[in-house]
């Protein structure tokens, strides 16, 4: 079904329960075994409190086979990333993005209430519950295509809890997949629950545009992209940047950009990025104002000022739709 640095996932048939399951077979290296045992602990903790089983993937069982930890999960559909990829990175309609956003934030609220921080939220780690799709006509047709596929059901669940941490643990190491990494992580300021909300903001932009917001693999370029889309970094965060991050700034006051750019291609990659408002307006018709405001709350540089998951669920992007759509 898939593979990664951790190992691979196989689709199997559970003879006892007569159902399809997904088994994650983890590499036998010690660091992957340790991450798998953390994931099992987190999954069991989540399962104990997730009475409806609707927030996060459900663990069925686990076993150790020839030094490989094997975790048995319920079988779900494709990830949101895989769905985008198979649809030539065509974005989701805004009303579907709203449904995804609501569920992601409900799942993050659920985790944070249990004092757990996911730390690796991204479209690859959000799975559709069902693989079923429907074909809808595109009006007007785009890039020669007349139809696009959409999920039949908007139900999703979070997966991959191998990097999940408790709020009392050490939070000074680097977390999150690059594109979804919060500024406080890059600047070495320590991190906590808000790093998950930054990732959610990046995910929502990607779902409504079809492309990752910050496509980079380098810290200085990443910070320059943030400033291009969101405006200048706050002085008080720059002043507190750790020793490794000091080199990204000139005299400790402003980002060393474009002077410090690694290449002309890097400069172009930053320059071509629009402001957040313009980016959203390019892809969203109705609800654009509410979505921009929600994203500005999720993508606040200062983690202390960033929207919390529960606060975000009260945002007009969700509540106004209740009144308009009569949910």
Residue-by-residue DSSP string for 72-130: EEE----BHHHHHHHTTTPPPPHHHHHHHHHHHHHHHHHHHHTTEE----SGGGEEES-
- What is the pLDDT, as a whole number, of residue 129? 97
Q: Which of 120, 160, 196, 290 is catalytic?
A: 120
Span 269-313, pLDDT tens digits: 999 999 999 999 999 988 899 999 999 999 999 999 999 999 999
In the structure, what pLDDT confidence band is assigned to residue 324 with cuts at 50, 70 and 90? very low
- What is the pLDDT, as a whole number, of residue 48? 94
Q: Report the DSSP beta bridge partners of residue 77.
A: none
Going by CATH, does the domain composed of 80-325 fall within 1.10.510.10? yes
Lowest mean pLDDT among 164-178, 223-237, 264-278: 164-178
Domain spanning 2-74, CATH class: alpha beta
Q: Does residue 120 carry a catalytic annotation?
A: yes
Element (DSSP H or E) covering residue 265? helix 264-271
**% of the chain at pLDDT higher than 70:** 96
Tell me the average pLDDT of the chain.
93
Q: Say if residue 325's pLDDT is above 70.
A: no
Span 83-95, pLDDT tens digits: 999 999 999 999 9
Average pLDDT (124-141) is: 88
In the structure, what pLDDT confidence band is assigned to residue 326 with cuts at 50, 70 and 90? very low
Using alpha carbons, select from 151, 114, 179, 172 the residue that is nearest to residue 309.
114
In the structure, what pLDDT confidence band is assigned to residue 327 with cuts at 50, 70 and 90? very low
Using alpha carbons, select from 127, 303, 273, 283 the residue that is nearest to residue 205.
283
- What is the pLDDT, as a whole number, of residue 321? 59
Lowest mean pLDDT among 131-140, 203-212, 287-296, 305-314: 131-140
Ranges of each domain in the chain: 2-74, 80-325
- What is the pLDDT, as a whole number, of residue 172? 81
Length of the chain: 327
- What is the pLDDT, as a whole number, of residue 143? 63
Of residues 322 and 30, the one with the higher pLDDT is: 30
Q: Say if residue 322's pLDDT is above 70.
A: no
């Amino acid at each position: 079904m898939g593979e990664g640095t951790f190992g691979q996932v196989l689709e199997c048939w559970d003879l006892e329960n007569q159902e399809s399951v997904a088994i994650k077979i983890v590499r036998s290296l010690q660091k992957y075994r340790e991450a798998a045992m953390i994931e099992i602990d987190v999954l069991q903790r989540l399962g104990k409190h997730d009475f409806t089983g609707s927030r996060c993937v459900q663990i069925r069982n686990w076993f150790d086979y020839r030094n490989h930890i094997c975790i048995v999960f319920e079988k779900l559909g494709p990830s949101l990333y895989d769905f985008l990829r198979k649809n030539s990175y065509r974005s989701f309609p805004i009303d579907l993005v709203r449904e995804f956003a609501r569920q992601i934030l409900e799942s993050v609220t659920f985790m944070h209430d249990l004092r757990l921080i996911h730390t690796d939220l991204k479209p690859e780690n959000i799975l559709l519950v069902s693989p079923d799709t429907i074909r809808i006509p595109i009006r007007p047709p785009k890039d020669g295509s007349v139809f696009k596929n959409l999920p039949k059901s908007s139900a999703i669940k979070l997966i991959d809890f191998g990097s999940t941490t408790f709020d009392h643990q050490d939070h000074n190491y680097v977390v999150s997949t690059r594109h979804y990494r919060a500024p406080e992580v890059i600047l070495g300021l320590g991190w906590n629950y808000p790093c998950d909300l930054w990732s959610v903001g990046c995910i929502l932009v990607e779902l409504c545009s079809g492309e990752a917001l910050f496509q980079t693999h380098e810290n200085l370029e990443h910070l320059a992209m943030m400033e291009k889309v969101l405006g200048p970094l706050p002085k008080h965060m720059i002043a507190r940047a750790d020793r490794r991050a000091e080199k990204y700034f000139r005299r400790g006051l402003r980002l060393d950009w474009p002077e410090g750019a690694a290449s002309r291609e890097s400069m172009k990659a930053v320059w071509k990025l629009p402001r957040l408002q313009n980016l959203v307006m390019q892809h969203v018709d109705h609800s654009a104002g509410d979505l921009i405001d929600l994203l500005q709350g999720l993508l606040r540089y200062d983690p202390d000022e960033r929207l919390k998951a529960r606060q975000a669920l009260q945002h007009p992007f969700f509540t106004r739709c209740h009144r308009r759509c009569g949910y």
